[in-house]
Amino acid sequence: MKMNGIAHVGITVSNFKKCNPFYRQLFGFLEMQLVYDSDSVIYGVGSRTGIAVKKADAKFQGEVFEQNRIGLHHFCFRARAKSDIDKLYDFLINIDAKIVRAPEEGSWAQGYYSVLFEDPDGIRIEANYIPGKGNLDPKVKLPLAE
């Protein structure tokens, strides 16, 4: 069976009050439509991608995200143009998002260009651009993951 991408990513945040406006702004910038909106969940859809942001149960709301714990490490949006990464970076600066890594070339694929940032809970989000077929190009030698 050949997959058609990932339909959605669901994340649970400890501080929904801070994360809600952050994701609303991010969804708007990424031209994602808010299709579900409640006191404990928001869900944005656009460009064949869905992101659900859910309030953590009360007993977990004092915890913080740890990238190397079991579960989500980060998620990454794929941009259509290299210049989109720079535009996103400017947007993130304007909303005072925590930037982990400013836009830069990377070795994950030929032409890899990305920005890495965090939501108010510290969940890491990346956006990247890879020209052409990226790692699916049979002429490209893949780097070893560390």
Q: Where are the domains of the chain?
A: 8-57+74-136
Average pLDDT over residues 124-132: 94
Average pLDDT, the chain: 92
pTM of the full structure: 0.90
Label residue 127 by pLDDT band (50, 70, 90).
very high
Q: How far apart are the first and last CA of the chain?
A: 29
Share above pLDDT 70 across residues of the chain, in percent, rounded to a whole number: 95
Residue 119 has pLDDT above 90, yes or no: yes
What confidence tens digit (pLDDT) does each residue in 67-89 have? 899 899 999 999 999 999 999 99
pLDDT digits (tens, 9 = 90+) for 13-36: 999 999 999 999 999 999 999 999
Beta strand extents in 17-123 (DSSP E only): 33-37, 41-46, 49-55, 75-78, 98-105, 113-118
- pLDDT of 141 reads 66
* Predicted local distance difference test score (pLDDT) of residue 146: 46
Give, in degrees to the nearest 5, the angle at Cα 140 between 47 and 7: 20
Among 3.10.180.10, 3.40.50.2000, 3.20.20.80, 1.10.1060.10, what is the CATH number of 8-57+74-136? Answer: 3.10.180.10
Residue 103 in this model has a pLDDT that exceeds 90: yes
